[in-house]
Amino acid sequence: MDILYPVALPALNGNEKDYVLDCLDSTWISSNGSYIHKFEQGFAEFCQTKHAMACSNGTTALHLALLAHGVEEGDEVIIPTFTFVATANAVTYCKATPVFVDSEPDTWNLCPQHIEAKITPRTKGIIAVHLYGHPADMDPIMDIARRHGLFVIEDAAEAVGAQYKNRMVGSLGHTAIFSLFGNKIITTGEGGMITTNDDSVANKIRLLKGQGMDPNRRYWYPVIGYNYRMTNIQAAIGCAQLEMAEWHIGQRIQSARHYIENLQDCTAITLPVEKIWAKNVYWMFSAVFHEFTEEQRDEVMHGLRRMGIETRPFFYPMHTLPPYKNLQAADEFPVANRICAQGINLPSYAGLTANDIEHISSCLKKVLYEVSSEERR
């Protein structure tokens, strides 16, 4: 059956086309142009930070942030094991070692209580991931970092617009990164953004992302840099998306409320939380089938696929992936092991109606019943 409800779709219902055409008319289509500065300035204002630097994607944003904080060979960086692989890969690009921490059972984010046990003399910093749109518990993470002289990078790739104690994600750590991929809450197709209040970090990032060229001496390269720039066309799309950021965020929250209303009576499902101190922007509407095995979870996904509903599993924990599985023992991460085997992401994009979500929820309940009944036979 054809997919009627994909997991993600970009919403391009603002000034995207007008701004892109303006770029084409101006001929400024590469990594210079007025939209780049406008987008960076607007993003900094949105996140309530001093600086925002656009780059080519969220992974390069992570790499640049780590480099700007001086991460190098022999260092260790603490990250959650339950995250997208880019978080670990960016640490590895710096020839450093990612050190994994288990998840909180309710938010699924990095558990602050497990961090200090992982700190060694080689530890340089912490990456706190705001997973699936819910902010990590930043105050205890920042307290630990202060006591041990560590930096904190927020991996807010999935959480634009989320808030922690009425503060915007992106303004909570020393530096933060965002992904602007096509399935994110706001998008530039491919793209990333880095925010910080630290002038020195911002200057290093601007230097490194443009091949390391001295800003005051053209074609002079005092350091080895990277071509991690965003194009003016991408920034034009970003400007249009940013103008409607509150609408995009509101659509995700509204969809999540419809899902919760339709699924709250289903005892087989653990629904996403929103802590009293948090604003969850529900990049994905994610749920855990708490009595199911991974195989049963997959059966549910296949059943929904036959009904035209696309789903995605949760990310595999980093400690289970071939490049990283020998770094730490799998039994250190009972929460991540469980939720990643039982988790599912449902269609989550602007434009889903209440009727759409009622239909998806009804199909999910039907398939859950069928899989449960088959198991009892």
The secondary element (H helix, E strand) that includes residue 202 is helix 199-209
The two most distant CA atoms of the chain are separated, in Å, by 74
Q: What length does the chain have?
A: 377
What is d(CA 211, CA 209) in angstroms, rounded to the nearest whole number?
6
Residues labelled catalytic: 184
The secondary element (H helix, E strand) that includes residue 96 is none
Chain center to CA of 348: 14
DSSP assignments along 303-349, one per residue: HHHHTTB--EEPPPPGGGSTTTTTTS-GGG-HHHHHHHHHEEEE---
Q: Please report, as a single letter, which amino acid is at residue 243.
A: E
Exposure b/e, 339-362, CB count within 10 A at least 16 = b: bbbbbbbbbbbbebeeebbebbbe
What is d(CA 256, CA 142) in angstroms, rounded to the nearest whole number?
29
Q: Contact at 8 Å (CB) between 79 and 110?
A: yes
CA dihedral 302, 304, 305, 308 (to 10 degrees): 170
Cα 149 to Cα 87, 199, 323, 341, 377, distances in angstroms: 21, 19, 29, 35, 57
Closest to 175 (Cα-Cα) out of 287, 295, 269, 55: 55
Query: Which residues does residue 155 pair with via DSSP β-bridges, in sequence order?
Result: 129, 177
